[in-house]
Each structure stands twice: as structure tokens, then as C-alpha cells.
Structure 1
Amino acid sequence: METEFITITDYCINYNIEPTFINLLEESGIITLTIINTEKYISLTQLNELEKYVHFHYDLQINIEGIDAIRHLLQKVSQMQEEIRDLKKQLRLHES
């Protein structure tokens, strides 16, 4: 069976990240961690998001509040793009 999680400890060691940063992301509700036998894990499905947040924080020096704001704005943009696609489909249906 393939694992669906990676320990926060392993992730932090492999990517040279402070565990406190990941804990702050969790406390802010930006990511969700799973606790198994007192060890914190992140699901593999969230790794892409986590890598974005690591980039924002360590490379661009954006704090947790800024990351949360950027995340919110990116979600809004994505929702609007989806709405535009749906409206274009409806428009094509009415044109034909």
C-alpha cells in the first residue's frame, strides 16, 4: 500500500524548513495536518500547496497573514475563471 502522507519531520529535514512555520500554517487554517501516533503528517494532496507557501515565505519573505490573503485571492480568481468558462458555454449555447 502506497503511503498517502509524509511526516512533517521528514518534510522539514528534506526541504530545510522550520517545523514552526508548518505549525503556523496549520494554526491559521491554511493547511490541515493529520496526527497519527503523536506524529504530525501532511497529505500528499496538499504538498503542491505547501510548496507554494514555502516559496512565498522563504523566497519572497511573505508572512503567514500575507500567505492567507494571497491564498484567498487566488481562490477567488480561480472561482471567477470557472464562472467565466461557464458563462462562455452558456453564451455559445444561446448563439447556436
Structure 2
Amino acid sequence: METEFITITEYCINYDIDPSFMVSLEESGIIIFTLIGEEKCVHQEQFSELDKYIHLHYDLHINMEGIDAIRHLLQKVSRMQEEIRDLNKKLHLHE
């Protein structure tokens, strides 16, 4: 299966994003870019994640610290939902 990457420069141009925002995401550890040759690139699987961060920052005016806190909370909610599904499966086995 072929992986698809786009350079950060292309991504910023295509989606009208300030490159410094992308640098801030990486410096904050919120997202990790792939280095291909001398260019930092984003994998297509990260597009939806980036889209969320772009929306939070540009539309809702949330800073990097806020984005990181929201990301952490969403990950926690996701883990809890998974745990609930597992517990429901176990409960149904005992019925």
C-alpha cells in the first residue's frame, strides 16, 4: 500500500494556513511530522487531526496550550468509551 504525504508548505498553501501555526503544533508535541529529504511532510492520515486543530485555533481562537488540553481530554474520553464498550461486552456475556 502506497503512503501519501504532502509537504507542510503545500498543506499551508492549499488550506491557507500560517506555517508558524504548523511549527507551533510540532514544537508543542501536538503533532509529529515526517521528514522526507529536507522537507517536513504530513501523512494523509493526519489530515482530520490537523483539521480539528485548525478549527480550534482559527475559528475558536484557542491557543496551543488549550489545543493540547483539549486533545488530552478527547483522548481520555476515547479511552473511557472503549472501556465502557469492553465492560458492556463482558456484561452481556454474563447475562
- Structure 1 letter corresponding to 2:89: K
Structure 2's unaligned 5+ residue stretches are none
Taking the aligned partners of 2:44 and 2:23, their CA distance within structure 1 comes to 17
Alpha-carbon shift at residue 55 of structure 1 (Å): 0.3
Structure 2 residue 18 is matched with structure 1 residue 18: yes
Instruction: Determine helix, strand or coil for the equivalent of 2:31.
Output: coil
Query: Aligned partners of 1:11, 1:2: CA distance in 2, in Å?
Result: 19
5 Å matches for 1:1-96? 2-95=2-95
Percentage of identical aligned residues: 71
Code of the residue aligned with 1:42 in structure 2: it is: V
Bigger mean CA deviation after superposition, 30-39 or 55-64: 30-39
Cα offset for 1:37? 2.0
List runs of 5+ in structure 1 lacking aligned partners: none
Please tell me the root mean square deviation across aligned C-alpha atoms, in Å: 1.2
Give the length in aligned residue pairs: 95
SS at match of 1:68: helix
* TM-score, normalising length: structure 1: 0.94
